[in-house]
A and B are shown apart, each in its own frame.
Chain A
Amino acid sequence: MNKFIINNKTYNSRLIVGTGKYKDFKETKLAIEASGAEMVTVAIRRMNLGQKQDSPNLLEFIDPEKYTILPNTAGCYTAADAIRTCNIAAEILNGEKLVKLEVLGDEKTLYPNTVETLKAAEILVKDGFKVMVYTTDDPLIAKELESIGCVSVMPLASPIGSGLGLQNKYNILSIVENANVPIIVDAGVGTASDASIIMELGCDGVLMNTAIACAKNPILMASAMRKAVEAGYEAFSAGRIPKKRYASASSPIEDNICNDE
């Protein structure tokens, strides 16, 4: 089986998880541990400068020494905003330049704005960022983002937080077949089988947040997702049987005592 390498680092887990929408930091930490993920996404926002200044920082719970922190540009609708956010993220993370670029089109669908995404990717790559890029499931755009120099291309399964699962498996298959960088399906997973289906196509990994954080039991779902990603990847590596319309007996046809001819 192939190694899962992002930005020259090898990961044992092919599951990348988000840290949003959890009840509290404790639940976030427990869910990440149960997921087995080694890379976690975070958002970049104004610090809450309220009364309680001793309130904990997310990165005190999710130790950057232990996990690869992948800052995102969620909420950015232009290339300029996404680039500004990436520069701030690098300052927060002491110069680390691995980022998840996402430039969104509109609030209702949170669909990627590929025009702005391409512009931002080009500038960020030139500025030395290692860009993992959220995009549509368009094979041509995916290839273009790879050509620009993104370290991973991350097409959606379906809209962010929708839980609709993989909606266009043949596009994802085309993207995977043409890729020379890891393809990580990002967004849209609802339950464990969605993650398995994605991995069975030959994708290199899956990124999810809502499916775990908003499950009734996030920690149990995190564990399910860990197994689903592993199972899907092992099944892909093992090579599935071809589909046939009619049956093929699993037990010997010959020497059946009930059917002597």
Chain B
Amino acid sequence: MKIIVNQKLLVFDGEINLEGLLLELSVSTKYMAIEVNEIIIPKSEYARYLLKENDIVEVINAVGGG
């Protein structure tokens, strides 16, 4: 299954949910947010949110800024 994560193409064998994706990317859920196809997915739904072919995922955090 192909999905786009932060503008990069990732390919997975079989199904993957958001929790699995973050595990795969070694990303902690502290102080971050995820959008799938421009819709924010609350952290409480990561474990049951199954990604679909061609989903566009954005993993977002706070960085230095003024």
Contact = CB atoms under 8 A, between A and B. Distances in A.
Interface stretch (A39-47, A116-124, A137-145): A39-47
A209 B33 CA distance: 25
Enumerate the 3 nearest inter-chain pairs by beta-carbon distance, A residue then B residue, closest first.
A43-B65, A18-B66, A209-B66
A22 B66 CA distance: 11
Interface in B15-51: 25-28, 30-33, 35, 38, 40, 42-43
B60 A64 contact: no
A53 interface: yes
B27 A47 contact: yes
B13 to A, nearest CB: 20
A103 to B, nearest CB: 15
A91 B8 contact: no
B14 interface: no
Interface residues of B, number: 26
A49 B43 CA distance: 19
Interface stretch (A69-77, A176-184, A228-236, A253-261): A69-77
A88 B66 contact: no
A5 to B, nearest CB: 23
Interface residues of A, number: 38
A227 B64 CA distance: 24
A87 to B, nearest CB: 6
Interface of B: 5-8, 25-28, 30-33, 35, 38, 40, 42-43, 58-66
Contacts of A74: 65-66
A115 interface: no
Contacts of B64: 18-22, 28, 42-43, 58
Residue in B8, B32, B33, B35 with the greatest tally of chain A CB atoms within 10 Å: B33
Contact of B66 (A44, A53, A58, A72): A72
Given A19-B65, A72-B66, A46 B25 contact: no
A239 to B, nearest CB: 32
B19 to A, nearest CB: 16
A88 B58 CA distance: 10
Nearest to B34: A91
Contact of B62 (A54, A92, A187, A210): A92
A58 B25 contact: no
Contacts of A172: none
B35 to A, nearest CB: 7
A158 to B, nearest CB: 14
Nearest to B31: A59
Contacts of A30: none
Interface in A167-193: 187
B31 A57 contact: yes
A59 B25 CA distance: 19
A37 B39 CA distance: 34
B15 to A, nearest CB: 21
Contacts of A71: 62
